[in-house]
A = this chain, B = another copy of it.
């Protein structure tokens, strides 16, 4: 399924810059790992992370992914009127103010890139127009470009949006082809009755989306841009654009939770090579997260049962990414350190 009949020229230009991994740098990295002063394989997942950082950057040893830039993309959701969250809509804006005041789990400055005050209710109609979907993606591209130009060597995804686990579930179900009940979770804390209702809303949105695709003769609405417009939210588009630009700039991208995982499915549907640049920062306890990561072929770095969003889980695994790179840059080799080799026959 091609997305290009709906994408802008600016997006097409970014997509065209996303390269496959550098397999030569990857080979050199594998060889270096075998010479470092440690038993082969003894650094577990750190070794594979370090090797992939080489393949991403084309350098061995890889640059340390520092400084890292965390962006929390915020959006409001029309579907909130269906009663899918116990929190009122105002909390999105209040929490953004809390970030700016330094009081949240993750705190930072503010950039106004508003597309609209909130999406339409995806249970009833498409959440946004194709034009707005492209605008949202462009926000992410622009923000990532700017941060990379300012020296960011790692991009960390964050999100804030009361109700946004509902579009996340719908997007994951649509792209990974799963039923709504398997991907819909309790978000920030819905009870059993609200969970059943939320699942029915996700299922209704999926049915509407699939019906639209079946009625569409020319196939133009089958791609990820249409999925974003039909089932998504502005922060999902921005996150996908952020990942696409990071990949085009050969920068590792650390995903936070289920919102980022859903946006990663969008980004990978737009440009499959994106998955090579993504690291799953943690495993959100939302059920859609494991399904999305499995679809993407990504293993989460930590699993601490977080479900907050805001980039909180991804921040916890940034030191792991940095350690994986530093080990390759700073650890001695057996030869350089004059250490006796393993007694191999």
Taking Cβ atoms with an 8 Å cutoff, the residues of A that contact B are: 37-46, 86-88, 90-91, 94-95, 97-98, 101-105, 187-189, 285, 301-308, 312, 315-316, 318-320, 323, 327, 330-332, 336-340, 342-344
A37 with B189: CB separation less than 8 A: no
- Please name all residues of chain B whose beta carbon is closer than 8 Å to the beta carbon of A90 when the two chains form the complex: 340
* Known pairs A95-B37, A98-B332, A188-B39; A285 contacts B340 (CB<8 A): no
User: In the assembled complex, how far is the CB of residue A275 from the closest CB belonging to chain B, in whole angstroms?
Assistant: 20
Q: With the chains together, A94 CA to B38 CA distance in Å?
A: 12
- Please name all residues of chain B whose beta carbon is closer than 8 Å to the beta carbon of A43 when the two chains form the complex: 105, 306, 308, 312
User: In the assembled complex, how far is the CB of residue A278 from the closest CB belonging to chain B, in whole angstroms?
Assistant: 17
User: In the assembled complex, how far is the CB of residue A297 from the closest CB belonging to chain B, in whole angstroms?
Assistant: 17
* Known pairs A44-B285, A320-B302; A308 contacts B98 (CB<8 A): no
A98 with B285: CB separation less than 8 A: no
A44 with B104: CB separation less than 8 A: no
- Please name all residues of chain B whose beta carbon is closer than 8 Å to the beta carbon of A344 when the two chains form the complex: 86
Q: Dominant SS at the A interface?
A: loop
Q: With the chains together, A102 CA to B98 CA distance in Å?
A: 42
A44 with B306: CB separation less than 8 A: yes
- Please name all residues of chain B whose beta carbon is closer than 8 Å to the beta carbon of A41 when the two chains form the complex: 189, 307
A307 interface neighbour in B42, B187, B337, B339, Cβ under 8 Å? B42
- Please name all residues of chain B whose beta carbon is closer than 8 Å to the beta carbon of A327 when the two chains form the complex: 105
A330 interface neighbour in B95, B102, B320, B330, Cβ under 8 Å? B102
Q: With the chains together, A290 CA to B323 CA distance in Å?
A: 24
Minimum-distance CB pairs A-B, first 3: A103-B332, A44-B305, A39-B188
Q: With the chains together, A332 CA to B318 CA distance in Å?
A: 24
- Please name all residues of chain B whose beta carbon is closer than 8 Å to the beta carbon of A338 when the two chains form the complex: 94
Closest B residue by C-beta to A98: B337
A306 with B42: CB separation less than 8 A: yes
Closest B residue by C-beta to A303: B303
Q: List 10 A-B contacts (CB under 8 A).
A: A38-B104, A38-B105, A39-B308, A42-B308, A43-B308, A44-B305, A86-B342, A101-B332, A315-B323, A316-B319
* Known pairs A103-B331, A103-B332; A340 contacts B87 (CB<8 A): yes
* Known pairs A95-B37, A98-B332; A42 contacts B88 (CB<8 A): no
- Please name all residues of chain B whose beta carbon is closer than 8 Å to the beta carbon of A97 when the two chains form the complex: 337
